[in-house]
Chain A
Amino acid sequence: MTDHRPLRGPATDKAARRTGAVRISGLSKRYAMGGKAMTVLDDINLSIRPGEFVSIVGPSGCGKSTLLRLIVGLDTDYDGEIRLDDTRVAGTGLERGLVFQDHRLFPWMTVAKNVEVALLNQKLPRDRRERVISEHLALVGLSDFGDAYPHQLSGGMAQRAAIARALANEPKVLALDEPLGALDALTRVKVQAELQRIWMEAGTTMIMVTHDVDEALFLGDRVVVMSPRPGRIARIVDVDLPHPRDRASPLLHRLKDEILAELTREPREDDGTLVTFPGRPRG
């Protein structure tokens, strides 16, 4: 494996990586809706190893996106604890990144400038900054598109650019909120393979929310299956298969059947959303 970032510390060597552990314990989240308290997440406990890829699947309303927003600190109002390497999460921080479902590149900036946004508050000398930008554009295969504006990119390219931006400041943890949800099926499969390669190269801890069980299994070291109302962890599935993976692996197919069975188990009357599962992006 080539080390694409020789400039910064030894943390880029995946084997030696010690940081990027996420520990979530007793996490609950309530919203007040119309005067009534609604529990979105109920007693979530999850320990994520440094450099691990964790997929989270579950029907709409199971609070999986909320969980990511709490981890990156866009929402800080919760009970329980989220720790990154023993530091309690309180607000956003450069060591935690997020890729949204919509790419959220600034339309008024070129792709390279968008990546630079992540480095604004890092004290890097100019030439080094330029190098980090071009290395990350290369990482996601967009070297020739640094000067393009986001509206000139296809959906898959824009999402790859968003991933480059999110990785540019080398976060210890990268949360991905249905990053491929808006892509067509073919592009999606391609970007999944890209994402696997990027994760293997960067060695960042990744937590990805998805509706797509195939995707969750193809990428995840573990798949967290959540159930809705209130959002709870129903099951955690180990995917004991080395990366890079073969989609045709019988193990993946068996696990898929298990997870689907788990997800469609005893659907409640009030839960029409289960029917649309899997594969539908959040409405």
Chain B
Amino acid sequence: MKRLASFALALAFPALVLGWWEWESRQGLGHAYAFAPLEQIARSFLEMLADGRLALHAGASLQRALTALLIGGTIGIVAGVATGLSRVLDRTASPLITVMRQVPILGWLPLVALWFGNGDGAKLLLVSLSAFYPTVLNTQKGMQAIEQRYAEVGRLYGFTRSQSLRMIAWPSALPLIFTGISQALAFAWIATIGVELLFSASAGLGTEMMAAQVAARTDIVLVCVACVGVMGFTLNQLFALLRTRLLRWQPATAK
């Protein structure tokens, strides 16, 4: 009963917005352009679903985001472990990373376009960069926060350096590494849509949005917007489930 009530409450606000939207769309032609009627949006959605356009673009965006997450996340974790363990590497690389991080991803756009053009490689590079920052920073923090208490246990049992790394440093850093990956996932998804909007060359939800805007098809823009929102939400939820499963050794209070 309680769950039902909270579910109804969660739906109340969106329903209100939709009602207001529909009302706006009926206030003359100009309004109908900016606020495409719900019925038309629904029709476009079904149409795009039927002719496979939605799957094509959503799939392309998803693939781009996940590939970049894999590339940027892997490099980020490796760099985070390295700078977390070696003070020399930390001193050399960390200031540069911190400075680079101040530049928004889209701030690199002119340079990347100049060097790599506006093809898939350039997009992948930018999205990977957005996934790199949160993973490298969190991994580094996790590796540096190894508790002395556990290191002493390792010393008692004569752990080698590799055993300390595998059995103490890595697992104790894991919660923060997962925090980094989940941030990277969110950033990568946002960055994917961003670069697709600006580098409109191949398939992708952002590209489709841009094309729809040029063609004055607000309804299609809205279908894409909704799709980006729902997919981003779903990705984050799925990752949260995976995280809980992999970190089941954590006491409930630490989650």
Seen from chain A, the residues whose Cβ lies within 8 Å of a Cβ on chain B are 72, 74, 92-94, 97-98, 100, 102, 104, 106-110, 117-118, 120-121, 149-151, 169
* Cross-interface CB contact of B156 among A74, A108, A151, cutoff 8 Å: A74
Q: B153 at the A/B interface (Cβ < 8 Å)? A: yes
B142-178 CB mask vs A (1 if < 8 Å, else 0) is: 0000000110110111111001000110011010000
Residue from A100, A109, A117 having most chain B Cβ neighbours under 10 A: A117
Q: B250 at the A/B interface (Cβ < 8 Å)? A: yes
Residue contact A117 to B158, C-beta cutoff 8 Å: no
Q: A106-B171, A108-B171, A120-B163 are in contact. Are A98 and B156 (CB under 8 A)?
A: yes
Q: B3 at the A/B interface (Cβ < 8 Å)? A: no
Q: What are the 9 A-B residue pairs with the smallest beta carbon separation, nearest first? A: A151-B251, A108-B171, A149-B249, A108-B249, A121-B158, A92-B155, A104-B153, A92-B156, A118-B157
- By a CB distance below 8 angstroms, the chain B residues around A74 are 152, 155-156
Residue contact B150 to A151, C-beta cutoff 8 Å: no
12 further A-B pairs in the complex, CB-CB below 8 A; given A92-B156, A100-B152, A151-B249: A74-B156, A92-B155, A98-B156, A104-B149, A107-B249, A109-B171, A109-B249, A120-B163, A120-B167, A121-B159, A149-B248, A151-B252
Q: Distance in Å from the Cβ of A147 to the closest Cβ of chain B?
A: 11
* Cross-interface CB contact of A93 among B158, B168, B249, cutoff 8 Å: B158
Bound together, the chains give a CA A118 to CA B157 distance in angstroms of 6
Q: Distance in Å from the Cβ of A68 to the closest Cβ of chain B?
A: 12
List the B residue with the shortest CB-CB distance to A69. Answer: B152
- By a CB distance below 8 angstroms, the chain B residues around A110 are 249
Bound together, the chains give a CA A110 to CA B150 distance in angstroms of 15
- By a CB distance below 8 angstroms, the chain B residues around A109 are 167, 171, 249
Residue contact B158 to A94, C-beta cutoff 8 Å: yes
B25-36 CB mask vs A (1 if < 8 Å, else 0) is: 000000000000
Bound together, the chains give a CA A164 to CA B19 distance in angstroms of 65
Bound together, the chains give a CA A72 to CA B152 distance in angstroms of 11
Bound together, the chains give a CA A98 to CA B250 distance in angstroms of 25
Bound together, the chains give a CA A74 to CA B157 distance in angstroms of 11
Q: Distance in Å from the Cβ of B211 to the closest Cβ of chain A?
A: 49
- By a CB distance below 8 angstroms, the chain A residues around B160 are 121
Residue contact A72 to B156, C-beta cutoff 8 Å: yes
Residue contact A106 to B157, C-beta cutoff 8 Å: no
- By a CB distance below 8 angstroms, the chain B residues around A72 are 156
